[in-house]
Amino acid sequence: MDYVDFSYKPKKTDLVCLFKYKTKKSRKEAAKNIALESSTGTWTDVKTKNTRAERIKARVFKIKGDYSWIAYPYDLFEASNIPQIFSSIAGNILGMKVVESIRLEDVKFSSKIVKRYQGPRYGIEGVRKKLGVGKRPILGTIVKPKLGLSSKEHAKVVYEALLGGCDIVKDDENLTNQSFNKFSNRLTLSLEAVEKAEEETGEKKAYLPNISAETELMLERMDEVKSMGGKYVMVDIITVGWAALQTVRKHSSLIIHAHRAMHAAMTRNENHGISMLVLAKAARLIGVDQIHIGTVFGKLEGKRSEVVRIKEGITGKTDGRNEMKMSWGKIKPVFPVSSGGVHPVLVPKLMKMLGKDIVIQAGGGIHGHPDGTVSGARAMRQAINAAMEGKDLRDYAKSHEELRKAIRKWSSVKW
In this prediction the pTM is 0.95
Any idea which fold 123-410 has?
Answer: TIM Barrel (3.20.20)
Mean pLDDT of 51-63: 85
pLDDT for 1 equals 52
Is the bond preceding residue 10 a cis peptide, omega within 30 degrees? Answer: no
How do residues 17-31 score in pLDDT, each as one tens digit? 999 999 998 999 999
Highest mean pLDDT among 314-318, 337-341, 384-388: 384-388
pLDDT for 2 equals 85
Mean pLDDT of 254-281: 96
All CATH 3.20.20.110 domain ranges in the chain, comma separated: 123-410
With a CB cutoff of 8 Å and minimum separation 6, the contacts of 152 are 189
Mean pLDDT of 281-298: 91
Characterize 97-127 residue by residue with b for buried, 16 or more Cβ atoms within 10 angstroms of its Cβ, and e for exposed. Answer: ebbeebbbbbbbbbeebbeebebbbbbbeeb
Of 118, 116, 122, the closest CA to residue 253 belongs to: 122
pLDDT for 303 equals 77
User: For residues 1 and 53, is the Cβ–Cβ distance under 8 A?
Assistant: yes
Alpha-carbon gap, residue 280 to 83, rounded angstroms: 14
pLDDT for 299 equals 58
Taken in order 151, 230, 260, 177, the sign of the CA dihedral is positive
Which three-class secondary structure state does DSSP give residue 415? Answer: coil
Q: What is the second-level CATH architecture of the domain 15-114?
A: 2-Layer Sandwich (3.30)
Q: Is 144 an annotated catalytic residue? A: yes
Task: Quickly list DSSP for 23-85.
Answer: -SS-HHHHHHHHHHHTTT--SS--TT--HHHHHT--EEEEEETTEEEEEE-GGGS-TT-HHHH
Q: Is 146 an annotated catalytic residue? A: no
All CATH 3.30.70.150 domain ranges in the chain, comma separated: 15-114
Alpha-carbon gap, residue 268 to 247, rounded angstroms: 28
- Torsion angle defined by CA atoms of residues 132, 136, 138 and 140, in that order, rounded to the nearest 10 degrees: -120
Which three-class secondary structure state does DSSP give residue 212? Answer: coil
Alpha-carbon gap, residue 289 to 281, rounded angstroms: 12
Which three-class secondary structure state does DSSP give residue 133? Answer: coil
pLDDT for 318 equals 81
How do residues 204-223 score in pLDDT, each as one tens digit? 999 999 999 999 999 999 99
Mean pLDDT of 177-182: 97
Alpha-carbon gap, residue 284 to 272, rounded angstroms: 23
55 pLDDT tier (thresholds 50, 70, 90): confident
| Residue 282, CA distances (Å) to 87, 163, 334, 372 in order | 13, 35, 11, 38
Average pLDDT, the chain: 93
pLDDT at 49 over 70: no
pLDDT for 322 equals 77
What distance, in Å, lies between the first and last C-alpha atoms of the chain?
51
How do residues 190-209 score in pLDDT, each as one tens digit? 999 999 999 999 999 999 99
Question: What is the amino acid identity at position 89?
Answer: I
44 pLDDT tier (thresholds 50, 70, 90): low
**Given phi > 0 = left and psi -120 to 50 = alpha, else beta, which region is 285?**
alpha
Who has greater pLDDT, 296 or 177? Answer: 177
Set 32, 57, 259, 409: catalytic member: 259
Question: What is the amino acid identity at position 324?
Answer: M
User: For residues 127 and 332, is the Cβ–Cβ distance under 8 A?
Assistant: no
pLDDT for 50 equals 60
pLDDT at 40 over 80: no
Set 28, 130, 144, 226: catalytic member: 144
Q: What percent of the chain has pLDDT over 70?
A: 95
Q: What percent of the chain has pLDDT over 90?
A: 86
Q: For the chain, what's the residue count?
A: 415
Question: What ranges make up the beta strands (E) of 123-222?
Answer: 138-142, 168-170, 206-208
User: For residues 377 and 163, is the Cβ–Cβ distance under 8 A?
Assistant: yes
pLDDT for 141 equals 97
pLDDT at 80 over 80: yes
pLDDT for 46 equals 62
pLDDT at 298 over 70: no
How do residues 107-133 score in pLDDT, each as one tens digit? 999 999 999 999 999 999 999 999 999
pLDDT at 236 over 70: yes
pLDDT for 13 equals 97
Alpha-carbon gap, residue 87 to 89, rounded angstroms: 6
301 pLDDT tier (thresholds 50, 70, 90): low
